[in-house]
Structure 1
Amino acid sequence: MEPFYRTIIGVARTLFAAQGLKFTITGEEHIPATGGAVIAMNHTGYMDFTYAGIPARATKRYIRFMAKKEVFDNKISGPMMRTMRHIPVDRGDAGDSYRLAVQALRAGELVGVFPEETISRSFELKTFRSGAARMALEAGVPVIPMVLWGSQRVWTKGHPKRLGRTNTPITIKVGAPIAPYEPAADMTAELHTVMEKMLHEVQQGYTHEPGAHWVPQRLGGSAPSLEEANAEDERVAAERRARKEQARQEKERLERGGRPGDTGTGGSAQ
């Protein structure tokens, strides 16, 4: 029994109902009733993890999601995430989170992973990291593919959130488990192929608005192409790295006794 996690799910479902979200869920039978498994999901919006946990409730299970460390650092969301036993990920050093995930899998938990690591601005599948496959191999558990579609209409990168009563349809499809096998790169490639096929299947039954920002170019929308989206992701990542480096250098200057903003290159005052 996990009263806090169960309560949070109840609150979330109340909010979903207030928003008029219309869920179509298939494949829940692929979520095992017991035992560990990696739940691999595509990533198109900020609310994905709140929706992805719904299919697991068919077998009364909870998913421990791997989420960026910043969420755990927040004074409000941090205690909640820790109470629900989600797993923090430090993108600069993911070793600890990987070990915690494998430990949870061996203990029989469901661990939720976004193999793309970040939201896809194009809403097409980005290149997958091999972490999901490597965790499954080390823990000896299957990977269960899951795709979500429509969540990007609620809240995604670069667009205003729509958390009111939008009556947005959201489709979630769970695929058959993939047993772990070596090498991890081949398993990762299979996972990508399977999830891409699943994604295209759910898109076929979904009504897409021509020219809409949340619709991929392939389906007549105005979302950036995968190549354009990847280029933007790299630009944003480069800016983030530059800010971190600037902060590191500023910290070193302060530790040496310099003044904030002092570059240490100026001459003496006359």
Structure 2
Amino acid sequence: MPEFVYPPVIATARTMFKVLDLRFDIVGEEHVPRQGGAVLASNHIGYLDFVFAGFAARPAKRLVRFMAKESVFRHRVSGPLMRAMKHIPVDRVRGDQAFAPALDALRSGEIVGVFPEATISPSFTLRKFKSGAARMAQEAAVPLLPVALWGTQRLWTKGRKRELRRNHIPISIRIGAPLTAEPGESAAGLTERLRERVQELLEAAQSSYPDKPEKPEDAWWLPAHLGGTAPPPAGGLA
């Protein structure tokens, strides 16, 4: 079916990011499948992560159908857009209800976007991954595409004012080689491998990130283990 809404939304986002002069550094776009289903799994550090994770698939001319909390679909502005872009609503109380539509999308050759942490990480480190992404990939027999984002938290994240007028912020996107389940591998095992790979990609993005806080009060967007003032990770996970 023709895509009447998604491409204009992407074009609008690109225009906004050009006005802000965001400095994109995307590595690994060759790993995005040019056709066929895949589960794109990304870390989650800001409210705009679905936009930037979706950018990872644009060099391959692919659109990503993101799984997002159901309340976003009830909003009078975002709701019609989310439905028109064929994103998938998730009721956090009855999350399994979103499993079937996601599988249908994957089996029809779509890329489905998932944030396995299920919520933004205030520490900007990886939280524990839920197994849904791995279970979907296994059941639909499609690969898992690991993605790490860095810098997106500086624009808009939990507990901070939006900084959508800030210019020249670097945005790093790292895309890893697709993962597939080994024979007999459990969803838990595949989830752990996925998390390890996203962690590697995140560390690569952080180590090459060109900006450093100029003043101590500007260090809020860096995790504590990198010398920043972000809250420590919950449960000791890093």
For the superposition of Structure 1 and Structure 2, which TM-score range results when normalised by the shorter chain? Answer: over 0.9
The 8 Å contact of residues 122 and 229 in structure 1, kept in 2 or not, is answered as: no
Task: Tell me how large the CA RMSD over aligned residues is.
Answer: 1.4
Supply the distance in 1 between the matched residues of 2:6 and 2:156 (Cα, whole angstroms).
23
Q: Is the 8 A contact 1:121 1:229 kept in 2?
A: no
Distance in structure 1 (CA, Å) of the matches to 2:234 and 2:118:
17
**3-state SS, counterpart of residue 36 of structure 2:** coil
Residue pair 2:155, 2:163 contacting (<8 A) in 1 also: yes
Which deviates more from structure 2 when the two are superposed, residues 158-167 or residues 105-114? 158-167
Partner of 2:161: 160
Which residue, 224, 230, 245 being the options, matches 2:231? 224
**What SS is found at the alignment partner of 1:177?**
coil
Q: In the aligned structure 1, how far is the partner of 2:58 from the partner of 2:234?
A: 36
Indicate the percent of aligned positions where both proteins have the same amino acid. Answer: 50
**Is the partner of 2:181 in helix, strand or coil?**
coil
Aligned to 1:171: 172
Structure 2-normalised TM-score?
0.93
Kindly indicate whether the alpha-carbon contact (under 8 Å) linking 1:18 and 1:165 is maintained by their aligned counterparts in 2.
no
Shift of 1:18: 1.3
- Unpaired runs of at least 5, structure 1: 231-270
Which residue in 1 is equivalent to 2:212? 208
**Higher gyration radius (CA):** 1
CA distance in structure 1 between the aligned counterparts of 2:166 and 2:231, rounded to whole angstroms: 27
| 1:199 is the counterpart of 2:194 | no
Mapped to 2, the partners of 1:180 and 1:67 lie a distance apart of 25
Runs of 4+ in 1 over 6 A off after TM superposition: none
- Asked if 1 retains the 8 angstrom alpha-carbon contact of 2:127 and 2:234, the reply is no
**Paired positions, count:** 230
- Supply the AA of the counterpart residue of 1:2: E
- Secondary structure of 1:24's match? strand
Per-residue Cα deviation, 1:185-216 (whole angstroms, up to 9, x for no partner):
00001111111111111111113326411100
Higher RCO, Cα 8 Å, sep 6+: 2
| Distance across 2 between alignment mates of 1:196 and 1:128 | 11
Matched residue, 1:106: 107
- How much has 1:132 moved relative to structure 2? 0.4
